[in-house]
Structure formats: structure tokens, C-alpha cells
């Protein structure tokens, strides 16, 4: 925006909105701020202008930015000074578009070419629809020579070398091979951010997010500072929490470095939602923490290095569970190389050694993945004393457990099982071996009792096929001396139609638990100290989180 260039700004409005604007636009030049609400919750590191200073409003030396949703009371004062909107003063929402990497200014009347005609391009189109981007491709680019001259989504496909007057196009790269494509575009004289952007920039719309945030109500009885300390870094995106609990990624390893994800505008918006107690980008009905109504608050401060890192760099798994995938999936070839680069990127930061907590794998089976095994067992990959390992338990054999004990002083095991009987296990955990699993659990139990393993939990994704075994699952946990028995909701990873998902997840069309599951969860045994049903608490106590305007 030309109006803010080389201008000192005065922020005028409600203290919360002044704080929000300053947090997101800390790079502007400020003279001070004016407020009358006296909300001491928000500290503003600017000069507070007193009543005697307010003649500066009429000086026209400064740009007045009104930080409020309603303008009427400010307009009444502005009229006394004959200020001109757009020249002497603007409303703060006028600046929100500056947060978006893609806009009409960057497009600069150029046509749009999308590089990529695969799954990532489909994800891009879906994200554009969800986030309100108006993008219409004039041309598609693909490195595959066999696709040249074909049609994709009604447009011609060409290789980059076949395009005349290439500079007439603004290029959106929709490919997991972004790093290679970026190198090629840079050699052609294109500039990232000016002439091309990665698909990850369209997975959210910062201007719309901030608009939602400034209108959101504050939650009074909940506090969570995960966006300040946690990074979930998975092959499909980076998030400031569990990817199923929040709405938007903060980046994508295929296009953004770990540092770029951690310091992105979207990551900053999540942290602002913590400061304002709005949590407006959290899926409140999905969050496993919000049901606990956490009280109290500590100072949330930005960390250069995430304190908690969850890695899900490889989808490789030795099972094909009914709720997750329809076949055994093993990354190989170019897919494996790309994910190995994801791993190299975050290893090179040194974060895996510095983080207080490292967890893997959130998207497959770590002990079956070449990438995860290198992180776990190669001293040149990651040197640390503790590890949190998510596993289906089938590879927790003597050899692997001995290797874990050799490399880590403190081991936390989260074992996903989903059943308390062999019949149900075989139905859900396709490719598994119940008897072999029991042998491994016995071995883990002995090591837990001997303090060779610090913590063990077993998990069940609750669904129609297993909910009647929940009580027996708790008893199994006690038999194996686990520290916690965790029950989580069924997610739809594109494995079900909407109707089938509601049936399997035991939800009605209003999103509430079916009576038989609700009755089950209200039994006394689920109050046992080792039982965790946090994801179901919002369904059992149908109380909304208290809010205030």
C-alpha cells in the first residue's frame, strides 16, 4: 500500500486491536498509539499519546490507522480535523491484504501458469476454493514430455522450454518437486515471490485469518501455548499442533524450509490467537486438550527452536488399517528421495537434538521406515537422550528394543492397537499378527517394570468395530502395566463416504455421539487415572467453552 510507505503511523482504537495490528505489522514505522479502553491485558510497546497530544491527528504528518471494527465513533472525531480517508487515515483491515503473498499487485496483469498436473495441483485447487483465492490457469506446465500438447482441466500442457514469452506468465508451482523447479526458474531469471510462488502459499489466506481473529471472542477458561513451542513436521504439511486439531498448515516441507515454516506469517497468526485467547484457528470439537478446560496462563514467548517436534516424514507402514489406508504403502524411488530431503532439511537445523521432546512417526511406522530408522539409530543423524515413538508394536522385537535402549536413556512408547481381541484386531489391523504383538507387549511390559522404558501407553481409535471392547482394552492395559490407555476419535482419511464415516465413528448427523458409545464412556471405569478420553469430553459434557466479547 502506497499510503503507508515512508509514513509514521499512529494506531488509534481498542487496545486488543492495536496489539493485534502491531503484532502482525511490527515492521511499520510508528509514532505512538491512542486508546481509551485501558485494557491492561495487552502491553503495547509504543508511546501512549495523552489527550494533550491528540492535536497530532490534525497535523497530516502522520498516517492514522484506526484499529477497530466499528468506525462511527472515530469518524465523528475525524470530521473535526477534515482528514481524508485513504490519505490521512485508514481502517486497520485495509492493511490485512499485505499479509497475503499472492494478490493483484504481484500478479501485475500477467496470465497464470500452473506447474504441475498431479495430486498436488488438485490439492492446490481445493485450497483455493476453501480459502477464497480466485485463480484461473491459462496454461499448465509439466516436466513430463509425454504430457506436452495434451489438455488438463481445459488448458494446454507444455514443457517449460516450449513456452514463448515465458515472462508473460506468473507461475504457481504445484509439485512436491518444488526445490528442483525453483532452481530451474531461478536460472531463467524468475524471482520467487515476484514471478512465482509455491502451492504452499495458497493453503491458507492470512488476510482472511486475521479478519477472523479480530472478530473472534476470547475464551476465558482455556489456555494452550502449543503454537509457541510445537512443530508438527509431516510430509503433507507443517502445523503448530496435531494436524487434525487445527485448520491451516504453517508451511509445507516440499516448498518451505523448517525455518520458513516455523517463522511463517501463518505461524505468527496462530501465536497471536494464543495471546488474544481466541484460538480461532483450532478445531475446537476435535482438540483433545480443549475438552479439559485448562486453566491458568504462563507467559508465551517465541522460541528460536521448537521445544516439541513431531515428525511424520514418511507414510511407509507395515499395516493397512481399515481407517487409514487400503494397501501396504512403502515410499520408494523419487517419492523416497523427496522425503529423505525433508529429513535432511530438518536434521541440518540441529533442532532434533535441541528440542526438549522429539516424537516420531505420526504418519506411518517408524521402525519400518528407512528414513525414521536412520534418525533413530544413526548417531550422525540425531544425538539426544530421549525419544517418543509412535508404533503399531509389531516391530518392538528384542533387537529393536535393545537398539532403542542403546541409543536413548529415556524412551516413551505410544502403541496403537485398536482392539482387545484377536478377531477384532485382525479385522481392523490388516496385515498384523495378534500373537506376535502380545509377545512384544510382554517384552515391553518387562522393560517398563525394570525401568528400561520410561513410559508406555496403548491407544485405541474408537469405532463401530471395536467400541464394545473398550473396557477389555483398559483391562489389557492394566495387565501390561502401561502408564496410560488412550481412546481417540476416528478420523476420515478419505477412506469413507460421509455416511459410512458417521456410522463407523458412531456419530449422528448432528455430530453427536450415538447413545450406546456415550453410555459406554460414562461408565465408572473410564474415570480410572490411567484412562484418557480427552477427545470425547466435549461430547460428554455438552458445555461450550465459556466466552466473552
DSSP string, 466-478: TGGGHHHHHHHHH
Find the mean pLDDT for residues 225-230: 95
Strand order in the sheet with 196-198: 151-152, 155-158, 139-141, 111-115, 169-173, 196-198
Tell me: pLDDT of 543 over 70: no
Which SS3 state, helix, strand or coil, does residue 434 take?
helix
Residue 502 to residues 34, 134, 339, 498, 511, Cα–Cα distance (Å): 51, 32, 33, 6, 8
Q: Set out the domains of the chain in order of their start, with CATH numbers.
A: 9-99 (3.40.50.720), 104-202 (3.40.50.720), 217-301 (no CATH), 307-542 (3.20.20.70)
- Mean pLDDT over 411-420 rounds to 98
2-6, 227-231, 287-291, 399-403: which range is least confident on average?
Answer: 287-291
149, with CB counted inside 10 A (0-12, 13-18, 19+), is exposed
Minimum mean pLDDT range among 167-171, 211-215, 219-223, 486-490: 219-223
Predicted local confidence at residue 541, as pLDDT: 63
Lowest mean pLDDT among 172-176, 253-257, 359-363: 359-363
> Average of pLDDT values for 538-544?
61
The mean per-residue pLDDT over the stretch 537-541 comes to: 77
* From 165-169, 217-221, 456-460, the region with the lowest mean pLDDT: 217-221
**Degrees to nearest 5, angle at CA 17 with 16 and 23:** 90
Distances (CA, A) of 85 to 68, 78, 90: 15, 9, 6
For residue 135 the three cell numbers come to 485463480
pLDDT digits (tens, 9 = 90+) for 326-380: 889 999 999 999 999 999 999 999 999 999 999 998 899 999 999 999 999 987 7
Query: Across residues 143-153, what is the average pLDDT?
Result: 95
pLDDT band of residue 539 (cuts 50, 70, 90) is confident
**Mean pLDDT confidence for 291-298:** 57
Inter-residue contact 131 to 212 (CB < 8 Å): no
Once rounded to an integer, what is the mean pLDDT over residues 243-266? 96
**Average pLDDT in the 174-186 region?**
96
Which of 17-21, 103-107, 417-421 is predicted least confidently?
A: 103-107
pLDDT in tens, 452-509: 999 999 999 999 999 999 999 999 999 999 999 999 999 988 889 999 999 999 998 8
Question: Rounded mean pLDDT of the chain?
Answer: 92
What's the confidence (pLDDT) of residue 548?
Answer: 36
Q: Name the pLDDT band for 547 (thresholds 50, 70, 90).
A: very low
> How far, in Å, CA of 242 to CA of 445, rounded?
28
pLDDT for the residue numbered 546: 36
Task: Work out the percent of the chain whose per-residue pLDDT is above 70.
Answer: 96
Question: Residues 75-124: pLDDT tens digits?
Answer: 888 888 888 999 999 999 999 999 999 998 999 999 999 999 999 999 99
CB atoms within 10 A of CB 483: 16
CB 429, CB 436: distance < 8 Å:
no
pLDDT mean over 290-296: 59
d(CA 184, CA 238): 25
Strand duo 139-141 + 111-115: pairing: parallel
Cell reading at 146: 509425454
Q: What is residue 500's predicted lDDT score, i.e. its pLDDT?
A: 93
C-alpha to C-alpha distance for 432 and 334, rounded to whole angstroms: 28
Let me know the angle formed at the C-alpha of 24 by 22 and 25, rounded to the nearest 5 degrees: 65
Rounded-to-integer distance, Cα 278 and Cα 214, Å: 9
3-state helix, strand, coil in the chain (%, to 5): 40, 20, 45
Bridge partner list, 357? 308
Question: How far apart (Å, rounded) are the C-alpha atoms in residues 365 and 92?
Answer: 47
**pLDDT band, residue 511 (cuts 50/70/90):** confident
Burial class (CB in 10 A: 0-12, 13-18, 19+), 34: buried
Task: Give the pLDDT confidence score for residue 535 in this predicted structure.
Answer: 86
Compute how many other C-beta atoms are within 10 angstroms of the C-beta atom of residue 185.
20
| Position 188 pLDDT exceeds 80 | yes
Average pLDDT rounded to a whole number, residues 67-78: 91
Interhelix angle 206-215/265-275, rounded to 10 degrees, is 10
What pLDDT, on a 0 to 100 scale, did the predictor assign at position 14?
Answer: 95
- Compute the distance between CA of residue 96 and CA of residue 10 in angstroms, rounded to an integer: 17
Mean pLDDT score, 280-287: 88
Amino acid at each position: 500500500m502506497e499510503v503507508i510507505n515512508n509514513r509514521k503511523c499512529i494506531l488509534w482504537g481498542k487496545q486488543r486491536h492495536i496489539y493485534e495490528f502491531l503484532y502482525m505489522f511490527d515492521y511499520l514505522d510508528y509514532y505512538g498509539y491512542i486508546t481509551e479502553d485501558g485494557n491492561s491485558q495487552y502491553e503495547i510497546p509504543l508511546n501512549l499519546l495523552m489527550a494533550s497530544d491528540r492535536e497530532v491527528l490534525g497535523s497530516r504528518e502522520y498516517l492514522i490507522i484506526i484499529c477497530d471494527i466499528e468506525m462511527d465513533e472515530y469518524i465523528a472525531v475525524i470530521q473535526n480535523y477534515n482528514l481524508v480517508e485513504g490519505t490521512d487515515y485508514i481502517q486497520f483491515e485495509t492493511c490485512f491484504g499485505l499479509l497475503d503473498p499472492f494478490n493483484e499487485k504481484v500478479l501485475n496483469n500477467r496470465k497464470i501458469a500452473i506447474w504441475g498436473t498431479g495430486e498436488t495441483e488438485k490439492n492446490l485447487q481445493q485450497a483455493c476454493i476453501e480459502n477464497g483465492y480466485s485463480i484461473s490457469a491459462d496454461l499448465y506446465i509439466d516436466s513430463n514430455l509425454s504430457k506436452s500438447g495434451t489438455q488438463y482441466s481445459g488448458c494446454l500442457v507444455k514443457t517449460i522450454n516450449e513456452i514463448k514469452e515465458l515472462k508473460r506468465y506468473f507461475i504457481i508451482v504445484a509439485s512436491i518437486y518444488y526445490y528442483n523447479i525453483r532452481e530451474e526458474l531461478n536460472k531463467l531469471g524468475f524471482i520467487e515471490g515476484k514471478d512465482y510462488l509455491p502451492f504452499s502459499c495458497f493453503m491458507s489466506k492470512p488476510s482472511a485469518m486475521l479478519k477472523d481473529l479480530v472478530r473472534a471472542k476470547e475464551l476465558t477458561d482455556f489456555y494452550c501455548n502449543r503454537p509457541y513451542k510445537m512443530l508438527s513436521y509431516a510430509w503433507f504439511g507443517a502445523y503448530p499442533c496435531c494436524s487434525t486439531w487445527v485448520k491451516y498448515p504453517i508451511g509445507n516441507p516440499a516448498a518451505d524450509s523448517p525455518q520458513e515454516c516455523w517463522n511463517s506469517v501463518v505461524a505468527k497468526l496462530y501465536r497471536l490467537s494464543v495471546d488474544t485467547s481466541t484460538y480461532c484457528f483450532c478445531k475446537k470439537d476435535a482438540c483433545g486438550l480443549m475438552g479439559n478446560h485448562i486453566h491458568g496462563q504462563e507467559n508465551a514467548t517465541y522460541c528460536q527452536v521448537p521445544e516439541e517436534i513431531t515428525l511424520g516424514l514418511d507414510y511407509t507402514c507395515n499395516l493397512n488399517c481399515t481407517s487409514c489406508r487400503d494397501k501396504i504403502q512403502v515410499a520408494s524411488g523419487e517419492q523416497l528421495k523427496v522425503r529423505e530431503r525433508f529429513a535432511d532439511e530438518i536434521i541440518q537445523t540441529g533442532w532434533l537434538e535441541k528440542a526438549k521432546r522429539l516424537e516420531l512417526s505420526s504418519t506411518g511406522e517408524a521402525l519400518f521406515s528407512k528414513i525414521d530408522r536412520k534418525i533413530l539409530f544413526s548417531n550422525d543423524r540425531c544425538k539426544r537422550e530421549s525419544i517418543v515413538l509412535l508404533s503399531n508394536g509389531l516391530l518392538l522385537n528384542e533387537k529393536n528394543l535393545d537398539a532403542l535402549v542403546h541409543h536413548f536413556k529415556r524412551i516413551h512408547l505410544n502403541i496403537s492397537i485398536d482392539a482387545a481381541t484377536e478377531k477384532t484386531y485382525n479385522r481392523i489391523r490388516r496385515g498384523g499378527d495378534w500373537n506376535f504383538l502380545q509377545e512384544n507387549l510382554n517384552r515391553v511390559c518387562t522393560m517398563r517394570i525394570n525401568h528400561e522404558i520410561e513410559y508406555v501407553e496403548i491407544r485405541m481409535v474408537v469405532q463401530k468395530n471395536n467400541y464394545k471392547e473398550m473396557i477389555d482394552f483398559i483391562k489389557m492395559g492394566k495387565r501390561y502395566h502401561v502408564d496410560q490407555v488412550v481412546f481417540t476419535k476416528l478420523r476420515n482419511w478419505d477412506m469413507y463416504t460421509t455416511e459410512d464415516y458417521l456410522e463407523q465413528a458412531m456419530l449422528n448427523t448432528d455430530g453427536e455421539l450415538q447413545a450406546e458409545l456415550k453410555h459406554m464412556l460414562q461408565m465408572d471405569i473410564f474415570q480410572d487415572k490411567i484412562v484418557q478420553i480427552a477427545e470425547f469430553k466435549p461430547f460428554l459434557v455438552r458445555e461450550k467453552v465459556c466466552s466473552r466479547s
